[in-house]
Chains A and B, each alone.
Chain A
Amino acid sequence: MRALLKLARDLFNAKFYRPSHLRIGLRDYFNLREPQHLLQPNAVHVAAAMAWLCAAHDATRDSGVSARYRLDRGWAPSYPETSGYIIPTFFNYARKVDAVIYHERALRIADWLLSLQLENGAFPGHDVGTAPQPIVFNTGQVMLGLLSAFRETGHHKYLRAALRAGDWLVKIQEPNGSWLKHTYLNRVHTYHTRVAWPLLELWEATGNEQYLDAARKHLDWALGNQLPNGWFRDNGFSDNENPYLHTIAYTTRGFLASAEILRRRALAGHERYFAAAILASEALMHRFEIRRFPFAKYNREWQSSERFSCLTGDVQLAKTWLNIYQVNGDGRFLNAALKINDFVKSTQDLRSRNPGIRGGIKGSHPIWGRYIRYSYPNWAAKFFVDALMLEDEIMSQLDHEMENESCTALQAA
């Protein structure tokens, strides 16, 4: 009885009496996802997700991107961390569709982020409106946005801000390479490999080796957290919590992106970071292919007791798999990425009349799953766009190779 009352209260709070919310609730309850053969081309899904991101950008009073659309309260305030890493997505999409408007939006976000930088060089965690607290991970993610703005425009104000942030990260790093102070819940996180990545980008931009050393120190520390089966310790948000696919994918992406930078600069050691990312990603690929469903959390045996999917993590993982395919050409990773992207596409509502829902990607599928419950987070839409655009790039390259092969065969004949 108590459980029923709680459910009724939850449904009422999430305003399931509104037609657009009820529609989502029913779709998820009956698992009415689009079958694969009725899915639209990637471009349609990407355009819808970008329209959603623009709506999230326009929904705030400042120039940041609203953290999420919540069924109970509507658009949330801006979120500096994810606004930071949304910047490169806007730049990439602007190039893809050749529309300057997305480029302008990216710069507006970058300029807004500059105004948030704290005295010590760090960037604040949480949504705007709460007391600003310097947080390591969030600082790293904002740096990714600022550095991409610097690469796009050549304006040194972005680089200067990134340098101040980088200096702060180096200053507070622990001797063993981890970050403990100014972290989420004041504990070490293996997913800070995604902080090592912007430090390496900063080293690439400036040539200052202190950033390289700090990044490598952290990556080596994170390598020590990997079990022989690929799973990472200290990778959840809190103690004794099994990590979400979201943070697992953060870690693997951090390793992969860092390894790619080191490889590009012909520095030794990148193979170890590639191998770490591939080990974890391959284990996840097998789990996904066997169960045909990407579960939200995984324990140290790569098993999951959850019955919902963390859609953000799904598309992040798809991107990692696609990146691995680009490195080693193993078609199994491409195959799994195509499937998981289809899965997330099938959960995207393209027809809702509610702009907070139409084109957005839910935190969890079904929407009452525990990750960002009853909400559409901006980072899910961002990673979705990234994954689909990379998929398209790879598939068109594959098509091109096939055409070349056919031409060669014809000539030989």
Chain B
Amino acid sequence: MNLVLLCKRHNHRKVLEILAALRAQNLPVRGIVALERREARPSCSAIVRKIYYRRQVRNTPQKPAGLPLFAANGKLHLESARNGESPVAQPSLQSCDTYKSVVEYARAHRISLIAVADLNGAECVAALQKFQTDLLLLGGTPIIRAHVLAVPKVGTLNVHMAWLPGIRGMNVAEWSVYCNAPVAVTVHFVDAGVDTGAVLYRERVDISDCRSIAALRQKLSTQQHVTLARAARLFIDKKIEPQAQSKASGKQYYIMHERLRQVVERKLQGG
């Protein structure tokens, strides 16, 4: 079965971890299709905003409490993300630590890597067709459209940081804690909806040792790559079957507001 990984090229850490987990399960990857990050030229308005915000930050004594949700046009979000993948210390999977980038890993393991400008574009479809993709694995991508999902013969797998179908959407690890729901990772097939595809495999995660959101996300992040690889192995060996989920049995969540994140932090601190 031809396994292909679809990812953002600059998201090295996450992709390397997935590749290492797949290797540990003895699952060879046929190819990697990666989004090439291109820096947009800042507009005049963006430059004015940058200067204004710098001035505001300088004139305000308090320290930033977290990522701004409403950073005008999202620029501040990007900048914060650019400084590092996340503020969390990243997990280590031994075999991925030796490589600095996905390109390096691909070269060392003779995996074809195709960089595309748009993961939903014709270029991406052509790359997936070239690899004769049977099973596509998503490694932290934006929403993938139906015409791309239609290419793999078997389907597309994604791993989700919560128990499906209960908690769909974004910041789901935090929402699981907020809602007192079981904390888990779920591997599911991807369909046109958001986290509504058939569930393949779920694993509960013990978070009793997590005392902060950072620790929680770190633990789940490590776990999810291992679970994705495990689920892929079990599915290829025909040991597990996907189960359709009912749309009505879950809710879609979105980015959690800083004040609710503080509630979650306190919940985690309280054990």
Contact = CB atoms under 8 A, between A and B. Distances in A.
A45 to B, nearest CB: 14
Interface in B44-97: 45, 48-49, 52-53, 56-57, 60, 62, 64-66, 68-74, 76
Contacts of B131: none
B251 A33 contact: no
Nearest to B178: A331
B70 A339 contact: yes
Interface in A13-30: 29-30
Interface stretch (A88-96, A106-114, A200-208, A398-406): A398-406
A317 to B, nearest CB: 15
Give the interface size class of chain B: 35 or more
Contact of B270 (A38, A398, A409): A409
A145 to B, nearest CB: 32
A335 interface: yes
Contacts of A290: 254
B69 A31 contact: no
Interface in A317-359: 330-332, 334-336, 338-339, 342-343, 346
A332 B253 contact: yes
Contact of B69 (A36, A334, A406): A36
B76 A286 contact: no
A36 B255 CA distance: 14
B270 A406 contact: yes
A332 to B, nearest CB: 6
Contacts, number: 85
A6 interface: no
Contacts of A31: 45, 49, 72-73
B175 A30 contact: no
Contacts of A398: 263
A35 interface: yes
B267 interface: yes
A34 B56 contact: yes
Contacts of A336: 254
A100 interface: no
A37 B48 CA distance: 19
A395 interface: yes
B246 interface: no
A32 B65 CA distance: 19
A402 B62 CA distance: 25
B179 A30 contact: no
Interface string B173-192: 00100110000000000000
Interface residues of A, number: 32
A289 interface: yes
Nearest to A413: B271
A35 B76 contact: yes
Given A331-B179, A342-B70, A30 B52 contact: yes
A31 B46 CA distance: 9
Interface string B238-271: 0000000000000111111111100100110011
Contacts of B270: 402, 405-406, 409
B53 to A, nearest CB: 6
B68 A37 contact: yes
A330 B256 CA distance: 13
B271 A409 contact: yes
Given A335-B254, A335-B256, A402 B52 contact: no
Contacts of B53: 35
A339 B259 CA distance: 10
A286 B194 CA distance: 12
A339 B49 contact: no
Nearest to A289: B254
Contacts of A406: 266, 270
A334 B256 CA distance: 10
A331 B175 contact: yes
A336 B57 CA distance: 25
B64 A37 contact: yes
A335 B70 contact: no
Nearest to B271: A409
B257 A338 contact: yes
Nearest to A399: B263
Nearest to A405: B270
Contact of B49 (A30, A36, A292): A30
A141 B204 CA distance: 52
A37 B45 contact: no
Interface in A281-329: 286, 289-290, 292
Given A36-B71, A335-B254, A409-B270, A395 B259 contact: yes
Given A37-B66, A335-B256, A402-B266, 10 more contacts: A31-B73, A32-B52, A32-B72, A289-B254, A289-B255, A292-B74, A331-B175, A331-B178, A332-B251, A342-B69
25 contacts: A30-B52, A31-B72, A31-B73, A34-B56, A35-B68, A36-B70, A38-B56, A289-B255, A330-B251, A331-B178, A331-B260, A332-B252, A335-B253, A335-B256, A335-B260, A336-B254, A338-B257, A338-B259, A339-B69, A339-B257, A342-B70, A346-B70, A399-B263, A409-B270, A409-B271
